A = this chain, B = another copy of it.
């Protein structure tokens, strides 16, 4: 899990750089995602904000804020399963054009990994052979983490 305090301060700085506010709502959403350390749906995020805070978080706000956080590279949207996860590189200077995710099909824990360039090249070659000139910079792979044994395949 990320260093929470550091991630929040980085997020504050990034918002300042973009000339936008890092409001209570935005902080709530990011905090929930960081603390969850798993992929959450927008509505799950709203519920956790409700539980955490004082006032009700509308789902619409969550969607707006998720989009904003995504534009700031603070979170990622996982298309497999329609869920969202905090970027594991918020608080490091590491630039990453590519995003690769392992998603546990059981507990939804997400690991953001760096595939070897050989592995990525192998995918590109296979894609090229099948007539695909380019592949997405985001790769999502479902699996089962060490804590969860595969129940199905």
Residue in B102, B127, B145 whose CB lies within 8 Å of A143:
B127
* B102 close to A132 (CB less than 8 A): yes
Inter-chain contacts of A105 with B (CB < 8 A): 136
Query: From A98, which residue of chain B is reached at the shortest CB distance?
Result: B153
Within the complex, the shortest CB–CB distance from A79 to chain B, in Å, comes to 5
- In addition to A116-B122, A119-B122, A133-B150, 13 A-B residue pairs with Cβ atoms within 8 Å of each other are A79-B81, A80-B140, A104-B132, A114-B126, A122-B122, A127-B141, A133-B143, A133-B144, A134-B143, A136-B141, A136-B153, A137-B153, A139-B141
Chain B residue, CB-CB nearest to A118: B122
Task: Give the residue of B80, B119, B137, B145 whose beta carbon is less than 8 angstroms from that of A123.
Answer: B119
A142 within 8 A of B: yes
Question: What are 20 A-to-B residue pairs whose CB atoms are below 8 Å?
Answer: A79-B81, A79-B142, A100-B126, A111-B130, A113-B126, A113-B127, A114-B126, A116-B122, A119-B122, A119-B126, A127-B143, A131-B145, A133-B145, A133-B149, A134-B144, A135-B141, A135-B142, A135-B144, A136-B141, A140-B140
Residues of A in contact with B (beta carbons under 8 Å apart)? 79-81, 100, 102, 104-105, 111, 113-116, 118-119, 122-123, 126-127, 129-146, 149-150, 153
Q: How far is the CA of A56 from the CA of B72 in the complex (A)?
A: 46
Are B115 and A144 closer than 8 Å at their CB atoms?
no
User: Which 3 A/B pairs are nearest by Cβ-Cβ distance?
Assistant: A119-B122, A135-B143, A136-B142
